[in-house]
Chain A
Amino acid sequence: GAGVSQSPSNKVTEKGKDVELRCDPISGHTALYWYRQSLGQGLEFLIYFQGNSAPDKSGLPSDRFSAERTGGSVSTLTIQRTQQEDSAVYLCASRLESGTFFGQGTRLTVV
């Protein structure tokens, strides 16, 4: 597609449920990033993919968070046993030489 696409755009879930957030990067972009934007913490790096491997997972806040990327394209961020502090906007970005481009984000609300 023309840009980075994220789905769903909004997700409301009950505390303790698992959620999956999807990112479709720009075609051909080999690098993919997940960030979290929350009121108290600003914009935080979560994980970086180069192709299908994740050489930097240093920003994942706990073992409830995981991510994968398949076919060098789509990525899924999974949050298990969601907590209220997981409420945030989750942003995906992809990059090629021309630059880094961000999606619109998924707003996650844990109730």
Chain B
Amino acid sequence: AQSVTQPDIHITVSEGASLELRCNYSYGATPYLFWYVQSPGQGLQLLLKYFSGDTLVQGIKGFEAEFKRSQSSFNLRKPSVHWSDAAEYFCAVGDPGTYKYIFGTGTRLKVLA
């Protein structure tokens, strides 16, 4: 079955610390992979996406993610977290034909001043 797993429901980091949010997927073929962020009361904003090619992708707001086929993972990283990064982060796989998404359950990030 197709699924996306985000094993960490909540993560707390100090401002300026590095961040890694985990995402593992189960999909029949190589899917399209996405990370979205949702701030309180806001819609989903695309941080970055992976379709093919270079397995390290850069996104907005200083985020990057690395696709590892052997581990079926697409972890999100940021070298230095800012207080404004506090939000909920969703990993998703997209069907290459329809772009229909399967989302993970999300990771809520708290940033300590």
Contact = CB atoms under 8 A, between A and B. Distances in A.
Interface residues on A, range: 20 to 34
Nearest to A4: B43
Given A43-B90, A48-B98, A55-B98, A91 B103 contact: no
Interface residues of B, number: 20
A43 B107 CA distance: 12
Contact of B44 (A42, A50, A56, A102): A102
A25 B45 CA distance: 15
A1 interface: no
Given A48-B100, A55-B98, A95-B99, A104 B43 contact: yes
A100 interface: yes
Contacts of B41: 104
Contacts of B56: none
Q: Is chain B's binding surface mostly helix, strand, loop or mixed?
A: strand
Contacts, number: 47
A100 B34 CA distance: 10
Contacts of A35: 101, 103
A91 B99 contact: no
B46 A99 contact: yes
B99 A42 contact: no
A107 to B, nearest CB: 10
Interface of B: 36, 41-46, 49, 90, 92, 94, 98-106
What 3 A-B pairs come out closest when comparing CB atoms?
A43-B103, A102-B44, A102-B43
24 contacts: A33-B99, A33-B100, A33-B101, A42-B103, A43-B90, A43-B103, A43-B106, A44-B103, A45-B100, A45-B101, A45-B102, A48-B98, A48-B100, A50-B98, A56-B98, A56-B100, A91-B43, A91-B44, A93-B44, A95-B99, A99-B46, A101-B46, A102-B44, A104-B43
